[in-house]
A and B are shown apart, each in its own frame.
Chain A
Amino acid sequence: MPTADVCPRCGDSCVQHRELAGLDIAHVDCDAFYASVEKRDDPTLEDRALIVGHAGGRGVVTTACYLARQSGARSAMPMFKALELCPDAVVMPPDMAKYKQVSNEIRALFLKATDNFEPVSMDEAYLDLRPEHVADNEVAPAVLMARLARDVRAEVGVTVSVGLSYNKFLAKLASDLDKPDGFSVIGRGEAQAFLGPLSISKINGVGAATARRLQAAGIETIGDLRARPEEELMALVGRFGRRLSGYARGEDARDVSTARGSKSISAETTFRVDTGKRAELNVVAARLCERVATQLQRQGVSGGTVVLKLKTHDFKTLTRSRQLPHPTQKADTLHEQVAALIDAVADGRLFRLIGVGVSDIRGSEEADPPDLFS
């Protein structure tokens, strides 16, 4: 897989790939975004491990800079644990307003490259570089992206990693290959060979539970996945099996689309007294499902995947998700799945927080199709 090299002539990074001209979907991911912004604004932090997140008590790591990551600190880790691993790190509380501002500056640069990009979050987006969307048709997508990376560094002062390929799935995999400040390309010719040995957990959307189910069926790598018929994958993991079957062959039909509302809708609450009782968890979960359903209906959307989040009394966060057979707006349907997830996870441990959410947001017209038996 070609990653960036240093160009012998100009000393800038350069990428060579024979399919470069035909690859037109990019995934751009800011490197340790919040931490990079803070380092930009305070040069004395440059050589120090920096953790962005709320210190003390119940705080968690929002972003760890690459120095802190070397000691094992990771996002979403409880702060006290990160500081055990990396005791001399500087901890700063997140300044969301500032990051939002920087994110907007970066998006303005995206817009100079293409009029069609899809922000996934503040620090990540897919860019559609097909001729009808790019401003300058004379320039190959790879060159556009190299310029974009250069401009972001020069004008905004943070680095990005770019993945370039022919669909979103592969572009995202590519951007992760050469972090930070990287540029990787996956072409049609090598996609199959590249995917074959990769672990299925590299696939966006394959969480712990899906991975377990696939592994139980002897599927460890994307190559194993490719060897199975779509029907068998659907039998194993439901509707997601169809998309998996495509991914395994390097196919992904999802469009890059600007029209995109929120990515997930959720509600959570902290218990006054920690509890591990299924009945109590379910009573609260049912209420949270109502809140999520109300939001879904209010926004005119539906959710395709339900997510249960629990935080144990000793601050471990567990998330369990399950793809719904059909997108829903109904509290009952959400709770049916949440109850099953609670059932599997409540083993006597005490929990301090519970959250219910939906992701995979869809339109309302797909929600709750009529059923023969109800």
Chain B
Amino acid sequence: MQLVIERGELLKSLSHVTSVVERRTTIPILSNVLLQASGNALRFNATDLEREVIEQTSADVGQDGAITVPAHLLHDIVRKLPDGAQVQIMRDGEHERVTLSSGQSRFALQSLPAEDFPDLAAGEMSHEFSMAAHDLKRLIEKTRFAISTEETRYYLNGIYLHAAGGGEDGAKPTIRAVATDGHRLAHVELDQPEGALGMPGVIIPRKTVHELHRLLEDGGSEVRIGISATKIRFEIGAITLTSKLIDGTFPDYGRVIPQGNDKEMRVSNAEFISAVDRVSTIASERGRAVKLALASDKLTLSVNNPEGGSATEEIDVSYSSEPLEIGFNARYLLDIASQLESDQAIFRLADPGSPTMVQDSDDTSALYVLMPMRV
């Protein structure tokens, strides 16, 4: 194999694929990136066996072939080459050695046989559809903060993506993303893309979610999504991310979304965020409870930390139900409030022991559920 490629092109593709490569792995070839040259194209492939990123870019290929070389090492080398440099990569005769040269620099890298590189992408996709990249990004950004890190509840360690509506009840067909850690739940939906009808509900692992979000940052405008019973594939421009799914059952989240919460509070979201942030300063750790005391058109926020002191703040809200006192984790309140986009937030409450629902005042596509704390 022999090819010449511009340093910038090489660096861009390497930085897309190498982030899935584990720094430490017991299987040596997983530290490597697979490079396949043919025609005028160079294809990069990296995997941690749970997910795989493939990218294709153009290169001046002198001789077709495939090699694998240590991914992070290659990335580090290319990063240090000067801007605009031409990089030649070639396999050194019969030896399992790869030479990289650019200007006066020359590197000899250990290689492992390309035939041994694992292939994750194989398999038929049962459903395929396209979405705007910014739509997919929105589904991720609005929900990922609620993903559980609790290993014993592995089925919550991802975003649950599924098709909803479109049934006989006349509900609008949507694609919906849900994430929860048992204490808060985020639920966002968008118009259903054509082809997503009847797709199986899938749980996309947290690490894949972060990887995908990273690739969407500088990827194309359209994403093609393929789903099978065990895998999901995202094609973003020249990049393909394929990931295994979490093999588990996402809980029936519908039953924890409160339907009959009749106490409604409307509050300026910006004011609410700063007030919660201010009073929670007194809590020694950010996990402490903030007490919300509601009376007629008035909300009193308070934090009491036996070791640090106490804080209270009063803000004007719109509230006309009977007085209510309820406690929430300050951090969770802030996480949710910072997802909201409109000026006004709506809190729908029932009682101090039951879940509260939070929504934007002028957008019902996203909703959040928050379990109170004891105060």
Contacts and interface: CB of A to CB of B under 8 A. Distances in A.
Interface of A: 212, 215-218, 231-232, 234-235, 238-239, 242, 253-255, 257, 259, 325, 336-337, 340, 363, 365-366, 369-374
A371 B371 contact: yes
B355 interface: yes
B207 A235 contact: yes
B151 A340 contact: yes
A232 B211 CA distance: 11
B149 A238 contact: yes
Given A235-B207, A254-B284, A257-B307, A216 B182 contact: no
Given A372-B355, A372-B371, A255 B210 contact: no
B166 interface: no
Interface residues of B, number: 39
Contacts of A374: 182
B250 to A, nearest CB: 11
B246 interface: no
Contact of A215 (B24, B72, B148, B151): B24
A97 to B, nearest CB: 31
Contact of B152 (A234, A254, A336): A336
Shortest beta-carbon contacts, A-B, top 8: A238-B149, A371-B182, A218-B23, A372-B256, A325-B150, A372-B371, A216-B24, A336-B152
Contact of A242 (B151, B286, B369): B286
A372 B210 contact: no
B334 to A, nearest CB: 13
B206 interface: yes
Given A232-B210, A370-B353, A372-B256, A239 B152 contact: no
Interface in B126-166: 145, 147-152
Contacts of A212: 24
B183 A235 contact: no
B372 interface: yes
Given A215-B23, A216-B24, A235-B210, A372 B152 contact: no
6 contacts: A216-B22, A235-B207, A325-B148, A366-B288, A372-B369, A373-B256
B287 interface: yes
Interface string B11-26: 0000000000011100
Contacts of B207: 235
Contacts of A234: 149
Contact of B284 (A253, A325, A336, A370): A253
Given A215-B23, A218-B23, A372-B180, A325 B371 contact: no
A239 B147 CA distance: 12
Interface string B169-185: 00000000000111111
B374 interface: yes
A374 B251 CA distance: 11
Contact of B206 (A235, A340, A365, A373): A235
Contact of A216 (B23, B183, B329, B355): B23
A370 B149 contact: no
Given A235-B149, A373-B180, 20 more contacts: A215-B24, A231-B145, A235-B207, A238-B149, A239-B149, A253-B284, A254-B284, A325-B150, A325-B181, A336-B152, A340-B151, A365-B289, A366-B288, A369-B329, A369-B373, A370-B372, A371-B182, A372-B183, A372-B185, A373-B251
A365 B285 CA distance: 13
Contacts of B183: 369, 371-372
B308 interface: yes
Given A372-B355, A373-B182, A366 B287 contact: yes
A74 B207 CA distance: 39
B154 to A, nearest CB: 11
Nearest to A234: B149
Given A215-B23, A235-B207, A255-B307, A372 B284 contact: no
Nearest to A217: B23
A176 to B, nearest CB: 25
A259 B307 contact: yes
Contacts of A255: 284, 307-308
Nearest to B287: A366
Nearest to B24: A216
